[in-house]
C-alpha cells in the first residue's frame, strides 16, 4: 500500500535562496520490488508485504503469498474467487487459460468465470460451476438446452451427435422433444452471459448516483453502456478511484466481492454504503470529509484502514475490528484513543496531527512495529516501554522531556524525536540497533517543543547509525561521533561547532549538513571521498581546499561565507548544484568544465565576466543577482534554462535572450534596461520581474499570453498602457507603480 505520511519525517534537506534558508524534513522509506535470490518480494514503508495484491505502474497485478513471495505459474484464491498468475507473476485477464488439460476463462478483473457463457470471436462457450469449459455435453440454461461440441463451442443450426436438432441460436426446447422442433432463444444479447432477457429484471439493476464512481466500475468490467446488473459487479475484487471528486457512494453496496477499496482524495462524507461489504480487507479513505465511521464496525475482515486527513473525532466503531494490522488516523480531531486498546494485532498505527495527550490505551499493543504519534500534545510516553517489537517510533512535535521509557525498546531502528523538550539523551545509549535517529529542531514543525541537547556522549556506542540529525541544538563538541563509521547522513546544522576534526574518520558519509555553525577550517573533510551532498552555509569559511579531491560531490551549499577562490572545485565534474551566494567571488573560471551543473546560484558576489558559462548547457536554473554584470551575451547557448535571475546588476541590453525559449521565470529587476523586445520570443514565460528599470514601452508584453505574474514597479510607464496590458493579459497579476 502506497502510504504518504504527512509528518513522519526522516531526513532533512536544505532549500536555499539568495537570502534565506529553511531546514525541511523529508521521508526515507524502503519501497517496491526486491529480488531475493530467485524470488521476488515487495516492500512498503520498509515492511515486506504478505497476502496482498500489488499493482505496478502499467496496471498489472501480482500476488504476494503468506510468506512474502510473489506467486507465478499457478492459481491463487482470494476471497471467493480464483485467479491465475503467469510465468512472470502477472495476473491473467480477458483470456483463456489451459491447466491440467482443462480450459478456464478469466474475466476483465482477472477472476475465473463459472456457470457462465463466454463469447470468443463470435463463438459461445460454457463454463460449469467449477469454471471448467464444458465439451461433448448438454447444458441447461434458463429452461433451454444447449449442446457443446468436442472443442467446447456451442452447436447451432445442426443435429447433435445424439440426434437432436438445435436451432440457429443453439437452443433445443425440451418441451418439443418429440417433434424435434426448433425453439428460438437468443442468448447473451446484452451481457454475453448466456442468460435470457427475462432474467434481467429491475431488481437486479445496479444504480450509482455518482457518475465518476460509475465510470470507474464500468471501466473495470469493460461495459461502457447499458444497464449494470449485480452479476456484472459482484466479481470486482478491487476498486481504486483517487482524486475524482466522488461524493456519493450509493451503489457500491452491490460490489459484494470487494477485497480492496481505495477512494483516496475525494469528497466523501457518508460511508454508510460500505457497511455490508464484509469481504473488505483493505480500505483507503485518505483525505475525504468523513466524520462518522460507524458503518465500519461490522467489517471484521479489515486488516488495513487508512482514514488520514478527515474530520473524525469518535473512533469507538473500531474497537471490534480485531483483525486490523495497519491503521492510519493521522490529521483528524481525535482526543480519546481508548477504543484501540483491544486491537492487539496492530503492527502499524498512525495517529499523527490529532489532539491526543494520553497514550495509555496503547500499552498492550505488543505487536506494534511502527507507530506515528507526531504533532500531538503528548508528554508522558511510559505506555510505550513494553512495546519491545517496535522498530520505528515517530514522536515529532510533542512536549516530551523524559525519554527513559524508550531505553527498553532495543529493537528500534528508526526514532524521531524532533521538536520536543529533551535535554538528556542518556536513555538512548541502550538502543544499539538504531540506524536512524533525529533529535533536531525544525522551523517548519509547528510546536512549542524545542530540544536543548549539548552532550552527545550517550550516543558513542550507537555504531549502527546510518542517519543522525541533531540540527538546532546547543552542540559544540562532536568527538563522541568518531566511532560512527557507518554513518551515511549526518546533520549538525545550527549548532555551536567550531572543530570538525572528528569527521575525518566518518569515511562512509554521503550527505553532510554543517550550516550555521562557527567553522573556519574544513580540511578534515578531505578524506570523505563518498560525499555527494555538502552544506557549509553560514559559517566563516574562506578556504575550500579541503574539497579539492571530493570528486563525487553532486551538490554544494556554502552561501554566506567569505569565499573568494573556488579553484578547489575544478575537479568536481559530477557537480549538479552549486549554491554560493553571499561570498566574495570574482572569478568563476574554475567551474568552466563542470558540464553536469544544472543549478547555479552565485548571487551577491563580485562577478563581472560570464563567458565561462557558455559551455554549461545543462543549466536549468541560474541565479546571478547582485553582481557587477553588464554583458549577458554568453548566456545565449544555455537553451535549457528555465529560471534566470539577473536582478541588481548593470545590464542595459538583452542580446540573445530570444534563444532561451524554455524560460518560464526571469528576474531582471534593478538594472538599466529600456528595451525589452527580446522578450517577445519567450513564449513559455510565466513570471517576469522587470521592476526598477528604465522601461517605457510595454507593447510587446501583450504577446506573452502565458504570463501569470509580471512586476513593472518603478518604471516610466503610462497608466493607460498598463490598463491596456491588463486587458490583453486578464489572467496575469501585474504589479505597477511606485514603491
Q: Domain total for the chain?
A: 4
83: β partners: 76
Q: What are the φ and ψ backbone dihedral angles of 591, each rounded to 5 degrees?
A: -95, 5
CA distance 365 to 52: 23
Q: What is the DSSP letter of 199?
A: G
Q: Which cell numbers hold the place of 737?
A: 507603480
52 Cβ contact partners less than 8 Å away, ≥ 6 residues apart: 1, 42, 63, 64, 282
Nearest to 328 by CA among 341, 344, 315: 315
Q: Residue 441 domain-assigned?
A: no
Asked if residue 380 is part of any domain, the answer here is no
**Residue 443 falls inside a structural domain:** no
CB 668 within 8 A of CB 643: no
Same domain, 94 and 175: no
For residue 36, give the DSSP letter: E
305 and 180 in a common domain: no
Q: Which segments of 215-346 are extended strands (E)? A: 228-229, 238-240, 260-262, 282-284, 304-306, 326-328
Query: Helix, strand or coil for residue 524?
Result: helix
211 and 344 both lie in a single domain:
yes
Q: Are 390 and 434 in contact (CB under 8 A)?
A: no
CA distances from 294 to 9, 179, 263, 268, 291 (A): 31, 62, 18, 14, 9
Cell triple for residue 245?
471528486
Assess contact for 125 and 147: CB atoms under 8 A.
no
CA-CA distance, 321 to 345, in Å (whole number)?
10
Tell whether 252 and 360 lie within a shared domain: yes
Query: Do 68 and 151 lie in a common domain?
Result: no
- Which of 372, 405, 436 is at the close of a domain? 372
- Which range marks the domain in which residue 239 is found? 201-372
- Please identify which residue in the block is written with the cell numbers 512549542: 448
Return the pLDDT at 59.
74
| Model confidence, pTM | 0.73
Element (H, E) at 623: strand 621-623
Q: CA 640, 646, 650: angle at the middle one, nearest 5?
A: 135
- Residue 201 has what pLDDT? 45
Task: Profile the chain (739 residues) by mean pLDDT over runs of 10 residues.
Answer: 34 33 40 75 78 80 85 82 86 86 86 85 84 87 84 85 79 49 32 35 80 94 90 93 96 96 98 97 98 98 98 98 98 98 98 98 98 97 98 97 97 97 98 98 81 97 98 97 97 98 98 98 98 98 97 98 98 97 98 98 98 97 98 95 98 91 96 94 95 96 95 95 95 85
**Coil, helix or strand at residue 405:** helix
CB neighbours of 179 closer than 8 A, spacing ≥ 6? none
Q: How many CB atoms lie within 10 A of CB 683?
A: 12
How many Cβ atoms sit within 10 Å of the Cβ of residue 280?
A: 23
Q: Looking at the structure, do residues 214 and 329 belong to the same domain, yes or no?
A: yes
CA–CA distance, 386 with 374 (Å, rounded to integer): 20
CATH number for the domain that contains residue 210: 3.80.10.10
- Residue 505 dihedral angles phi and psi, to the nearest 5°: -90, -10
User: What is the spatial distance between Cα 330 and Cα 373, in angstroms, rounded to a whole number?
Assistant: 9
| Helix (H), strand (E) at residue 104 | strand 102-106
Distances in Å between the Cα of 548 and the Cα atoms of 387, 395, 577 are 48, 40, 16
Phi and psi of 88, rounded to 5°? -90, -5
Indicate whether 239 and 180 sit together in one domain: no
- Asked if residue 368 belongs to a domain, the reply is yes
The pLDDT of residue 182 is: 32
Write down which residue in 351, 372, 393 finishes a domain.
Answer: 372
80: domain CATH number? 2.10.270.10
Residues 33 and 79 in one domain: yes
DSSP letter assigned to residue 721: H
The torsion defined by the Cα of 191, 192, 195 and 200, in degrees rounded to 10, comes to 10
Strands 643-645 and 621-623: parallel
CA distance 149 to 127: 13
pLDDT at 48: 80
Q: Which three cell numbers stand for residue 243?
A: 482524486
Same domain assignment for residues 130 and 234:
no
Same structural domain, 637 and 724:
yes
C-alpha span between 141 and 29 (Å, rounded) = 54
Is 398 a member of any domain? no
Confidence (pLDDT) at 159: 83
In a domain, 654, yes or no: yes
Q: How many of the other CB atoms lie within 10 Å of CB of 636?
A: 14
| Cβ 594 vs Cβ 574: under 8 Å | no
Residues 651 and 663 in one domain: yes
Q: Which phi and psi (to 5°) does residue 504 adopt?
A: -65, -10
Compute the distance between CA of residue 535 and CA of residue 14 in angstroms, rounded to an integer: 8
Q: Are residues 232 and 347 in the same domain?
A: yes
**Which among 170, 199, 228 is the end of a domain?**
199
The alpha-carbon radius of gyration of the chain (Å, integer) is 34
What does the DSSP 8-state code read for residue 70? B
The answer to whether residue 240 sits within a structural domain is yes
Q: What nine digits make up the cell of 240?
A: 481504486
| Alpha carbon distance 689, 709 (integer Å) | 8
Determine, yes or no, domain membership for 193. Answer: yes
pLDDT digits (tens, 9 = 90+) for 153-184: 888 878 888 888 887 678 875 534 433 333 33
Amino acid at each position: 500500500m502506497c502510504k504518504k505520511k504527512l509528518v513522519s519525517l526522516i531526513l532533512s534537506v536544505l532549500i536555499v535562496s539568495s537570502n534565506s534558508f529553511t531546514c525541511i524534513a523529508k521521508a526515507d522509506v524502503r519501497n517496491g520490488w526486491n529480488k531475493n535470490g530467485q524470488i521476488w518480494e515487495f516492500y512498503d514503508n520498509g515492511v515486506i508485504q504478505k497476502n496482498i495484491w500489488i499493482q505496478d505502474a502499467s496496471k498489472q497485478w501480482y500476488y504476494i503469498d503468506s510468506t512474502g513471495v510473489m506467486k507465478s505459474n499457478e492459481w491463487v484464491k482470494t476471497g471467493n474467487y480464483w485467479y491465475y498468475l503467469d510465468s512472470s507473476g502477472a495476473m491473467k485477464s480477458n483470456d483463456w487459460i489451459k491447466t491440467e488439460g482443462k480450459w478456464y476463462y478469466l474475466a476483465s478483473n482477472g477472476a475465473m468465470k463459472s456457470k457462465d457463457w463466454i463469447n470468443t470471436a463470435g463463438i459461445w462457450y460454457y463454463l460449469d460451476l467449477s469454471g471448467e469449459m464444458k465439451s461433448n455435453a448438454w447444458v441447461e440454461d434458463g429452461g433451454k438446452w444447449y449442446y457443446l461440441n468436442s472443442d467446447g463451442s456451442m452447436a447451432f443450426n445442426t443435429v447433435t451427435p445424439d440426434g437432436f436438432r438445435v436451432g440457429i441460436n443453439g437452443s433445443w426446447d425440451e418441451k418439443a422433444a418429440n417433434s424435434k422442433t426448433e425453439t428460438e432463444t437468443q442468448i447473451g444479447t446484452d451481457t454475453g452471459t448466456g442468460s435470457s432477457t427475462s432474467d434481467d429484471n429491475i431488481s437486479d439493476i445496479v444504480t450509482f448516483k455518482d457518475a465518476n464512481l460509475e465510470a470507474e466500475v464500468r471501466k473495470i468490467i469493460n461495459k461502457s453502456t447499458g444497464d449494470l446488473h449485480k452479476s456484472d459487479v459482484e466479481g470486482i475484487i478491487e476498486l481504486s478511484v483517487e482524486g475524482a471528486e466522488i461524493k456519493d457512494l450509493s451503489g457500491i453496496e452491490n460490489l459484494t466481492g470487494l477485497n480492496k477499496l481505495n477512494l483516496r482524495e475525494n469528497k466523501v462524507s457518508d460511508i454508510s454504503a460500505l457497511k455490508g461489504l464484509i469481504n473488505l480487507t483493505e480500505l483507503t479513505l485518505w483525505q475525504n470529509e468523513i466524520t462518522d465511521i460507524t458503518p465500519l464496525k461490522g467489517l471484521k475482515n479489515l486488516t488495513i484502514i487508512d482514514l488520514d486527513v478527515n474530520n473524525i473525532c469518535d473512533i469507538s466503531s473500531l474497537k471490534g475490528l480485531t483483525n486490523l494490522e495497519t491503521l492510519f488516523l493521522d490529521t483528524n480531531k481525535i482526543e480519546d484513543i481508548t477504543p484501540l486498546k483491544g486491537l492487539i494485532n496492530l503492527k502499524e498505527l498512525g495517529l499523527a496531527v490529532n489532539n491526543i495527550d494520553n497514550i495509555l490505551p496503547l500499552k498492550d499493543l505488543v505487536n506494534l512495529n511502527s507507530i506515528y504519534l507526531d504533532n500531538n500534545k503528548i508528554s508522558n510516553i511510559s505506555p510505550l516501554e513494553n512495546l519491545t517489537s517496535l522498530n520505528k517510533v515517530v514522536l515529532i512535535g510533542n512536549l516530551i522531556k523524559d525519554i527513559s521509557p524508550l531505553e527498553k525498546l532495543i529493537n528500534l531502528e528508526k526514532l524521531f524525536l524532533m521538536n520536543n523538550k529533551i535535554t538528556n539523551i542518556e536513555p538512548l545509549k541502550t538502543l544499539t540497533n538504531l540506524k536512524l535517529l533525529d533529535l533536531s529542531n525544525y522551523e517548519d514543525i509547528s510546536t512549542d517543543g524545542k530540544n536543548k541537547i549539548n552532550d552527545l556522549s550517550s550516543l558513542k556506542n550507537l555504531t549502527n547509525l546510518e542517519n543522525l540529525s541533531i540540527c538546532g541544538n546547543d552542540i559544540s563538541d562532536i568527538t563522541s561521533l568518531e566511532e560512527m563509521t557507518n554513518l551515511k547522513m549526518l546533520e549538525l546544522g545550527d549548532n555551536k561547532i567550531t572543530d570538525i576534526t572528528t569527521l575525518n574518520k566518518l569515511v562512509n558519509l554521503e550527505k553532510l549538513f554543517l550550516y550555521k555553525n562557527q567553522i573556519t577550517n574544513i580540511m578534515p573533510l578531505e578524506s570523505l571521498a563518498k560525499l555527494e551532498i555538502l552544506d557549509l552555509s553560514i559559517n566563516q569559511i574562506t578556504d575550500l581546499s579541503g574539497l579539492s579531491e571530493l570528486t563525487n560531490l553532486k551538490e554544494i551549499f556554502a552561501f554566506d561565507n567569505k569565499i573568494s577562490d573556488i579553484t578547489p572545485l575544478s575537479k568536481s565534474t559530477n557537480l549538479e548544484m552549486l549554491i554560493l551566494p553571499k561570498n566574495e567571488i570574482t572569478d568563476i573560471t574554475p567551474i568552466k568544465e563542470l558540464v553536469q551543473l544544472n543549478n547555479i546560484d552565485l548571487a551577491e558576489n563580485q562577478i563581472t565576466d560570464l563567458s565561462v558559462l557558455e559551455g554549461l548547457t545543462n543549466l536549468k536554473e541560474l541565479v546571478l543577482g547582485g553582481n557587477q554584470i553588464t554583458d549577458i551575451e554568453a548566456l545565449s547557448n544555455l537553451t535549457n534554462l528555465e529560471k534566470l535571475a539577473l536582478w541588481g546588476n548593470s545590464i542595459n541590453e538583452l542580446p540573445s535572450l530570444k534563444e532561451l525559449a524554455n524560460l518560464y521565470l526571469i528576474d531582471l529587476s534593478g538594472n538599466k534596461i529600456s528595451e525589452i523586445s527580446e522578450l517577445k520570443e519567450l513564449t513559455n514565460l510565466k513570471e517576469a520581474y522587470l521592476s526598477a528599470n528604465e522601461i517605457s514601452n510595454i507593447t510587446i508584453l501583450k504577446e506573452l499570453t502565458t504570463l501569470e505574474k509580471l512586476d513593472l514597479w518603478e518604471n516610466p510607464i503610462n497608466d493607460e498602457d498598463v490598463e491596456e496590458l491588463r486587458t490583453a493579459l486578464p489572467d496575469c497579476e501585474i504589479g505597477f507603480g511606485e514603491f
